[in-house]
Amino acid sequence: MLWTRRVLYSQAGPSSGGRQPLNFDGEAFHLKGTGELARALLVLRLCAWPPLVTHGLALQAWSQRLLGLRLSGALLRASVYGQFVAGETQEEVEGCVQRLQALGLRPLLAVPTEEEPDSAAQTGEAWYEGNLDAMLRCVDLSRGLPESPDLAGKTLMQLKVTALASTRLCKDLTSWIMKPGVSSELSPERLAEAMDSGQNLQVSCLNTEQNQHLQASLSRLNRVAQYAQARQVRLLVDAEYTFINPALSLLVAALAVRWNSPREGGPWVWNTYQAYLKDTHERLRRDAEGAHRAGLAFGVKLVRGAYLEKERKVSQLQGTEDPTQPDYEATSQSYSRCLELMLSLVSHHGPMCHLMVASHNEESVRQATKRMWELGIPLDGPVCFGQLLGMCDHVSLALGQAGYMVYKSIPYGCLKEVIPYLIRRAQENRSVLQGARREQALLSRELWQRLLGRAE
């Protein structure tokens, strides 16, 4: 079960010669066309302008009224949609993926369905069943994408639990989980059993309707996992808000019992850990130990965290302790410690432990690549990198060119569904978009060089 360091060192690290130097100075932009670079610069500049992000939805409605649906749609396609979204049809998504693969990058498809965290609007089972179909199609699409022979078991996709189970249910489960002494009723093993048998689960904190919804949600989650595993697609479950995350983690743990055992060739279901939360390092250590004790494989997507403003607002409103780190430096330190922990686990347990370093941060990426080399973790092994489509291509391209496994998180779908999703993501990642100044400067320099005929 243990992946010995000897095996690791035989594939990479000091024994394989010098370490590939990573250069994030935009040199890798030579791989991209001038039109693509110009669009990236324009869109990143626009997104760094706060009013556009704050009033994005109103501006979209206004432009539709003024320019008409077709023209405003065409403008969006040529700009924001074209920059951050793969497309609408299977052919468009495949085209986008082929362009990425030619650059040494891999797709991480994400279905942009979501429930408003505070809304009670989406409560009908039909909405969740529709999302289940979309997830299954996403598995098919991920699997059917043009692939190179070395992709076996390396196809990944993102999954959002609140597309398949209501936020309301996750909130109620979280309140129950947080109460001392009641956890046995909601053990991952019990939920996993209910998933498998389809027998009605009765949880005392939920009413009849909620119990039925829990059962239906468990069966939806299990269906996606089963379908994905059969098609060799690994599921990376998103982390969301702290008022529902414990329930999401419980559901992931239940899926892990069923789908992350070594005989399944797991981990097929990974959880996401947000370094901006104060308790994340401790939780990550505990969960890793728990998985090891239970003989389960362990998959982690490590992020800084996207819901900072909302988390702080909620804790302020409720008069509770702010769950997030006090400042950016503390979040970065936490990210670094979690990264170190995960890389040392990978170096000890090999393919039983998988990690996606999901960050645009150059320092975090450098730390990961340096430690991978020191620990002898192979570039095509269980550690990979993740960035959003249309963001930080200078980092993704440099990593891809150096032989690391790099995934671009790709939303896809029709304009009407995806634009509100993008605007919400942009609002949550305001600081990131505003911080993309270095990328803008690198893009600008490359474009000037081409204009003056020096780069090509």
Ligand X SMILES: Cc1cc2nc3c(=O)[nH]c(=O)nc-3n(C[C@H](O)[C@H](O)[C@H](O)COP(=O)(O)OP(=O)(O)OC[C@H]3O[C@@H](n4cnc5c(N)ncnc54)[C@H](O)[C@@H]3O)c2cc1C
CA separation (Å) from 276 to 13, 209, 302, 340, 429? 31, 35, 11, 16, 13
Q: Which is nearer to ligand X, 291 or 368 (CB)?
A: 368
Does residue 306 bind ligand X (CB under 6 A)? yes
Query: Hunting for tokens 């400067």 — which residue is that?
Result: 441
Minimum distance from residue 223 beta carbon to ligand X (Å): 21
SS3 1: coil
What is the footprint of ligand X within residues 195-214 (CB under 6 A)? none
Q: Which is nearer to ligand X, 8 or 145 (CB)?
A: 145
Is there a contact between 300 and 352 (Cβ–Cβ < 8 Å)? no
Minimum distance from residue 109 beta carbon to ligand X (Å): 11
Minimum distance from residue 263 beta carbon to ligand X (Å): 28
Among 358, 372, 395, 399, binds ligand X (CB under 6 A): 358
Q: Which is nearer to ligand X, 142 or 324 (CB)?
A: 324
Instruction: Report which DSSP code applies to 186.
Output: G
What is the footprint of ligand X within residues 78-137 (CB under 6 A)? none
Instruction: Report which DSSP code applies to 278.
Output: T
Minimum distance from residue 312 beta carbon to ligand X (Å): 9
Does residue 245 bind ligand X (CB under 6 A)? no
Q: Which is nearer to ligand X, 29 or 84 (CB)?
A: 84
- Rounded distance, CA 147 to CA 149, Å? 7
Instruction: Report which DSSP code applies to 265.
Output: T
Does residue 354 bind ligand X (CB under 6 A)? no
Q: Which is nearer to ligand X, 39 or 160 (CB)?
A: 160
Please give the size of the binding site for ligand X, defined by CB under 6 A.
29
SS3 236: strand
Q: Of 392, 405, 400, 394, give the one whose Cα is nearest residue 435.
A: 392
Tokens of 369: 């690549």
- What is the per-residue binding string for ligand X in 258-277, x denoting contact by CB under 6 A? --------------x-x-x-
- What is the per-residue binding string for ligand X in 308-347, x denoting contact by CB under 6 A? x---------------xx-xx--x----------------
Q: Which is nearer to ligand X, 245 or 260 (CB)?
A: 245
Is there a contact between 364 and 357 (Cβ–Cβ < 8 Å)? yes
Among 435, 444, 445, 455, binds ligand X (CB under 6 A): 435
Q: Which is nearer to ligand X, 349 or 360 (CB)?
A: 360
- Strand 269-274 to 298-303 pairing: parallel
Could you give the dihedral angle defined by the CA atoms of residues 282, 286, 287 and 292, in that order, rounded to the nearest 10 degrees? 140
Instruction: Report which DSSP code applies to 360.
Output: -
Minimum distance from residue 342 beta carbon to ligand X (Å): 15
Helix, strand, coil shares, percent, the chain, to 5: 60, 10, 30
Is there a contact between 266 and 304 (Cβ–Cβ < 8 Å)? no
Does residue 305 bind ligand X (CB under 6 A)? yes
Contacting positions for ligand X (CB under 6 A)? 238-239, 272, 274, 276, 303-308, 324-325, 327-328, 331, 358-361, 364, 386-388, 409, 429, 431-432, 435
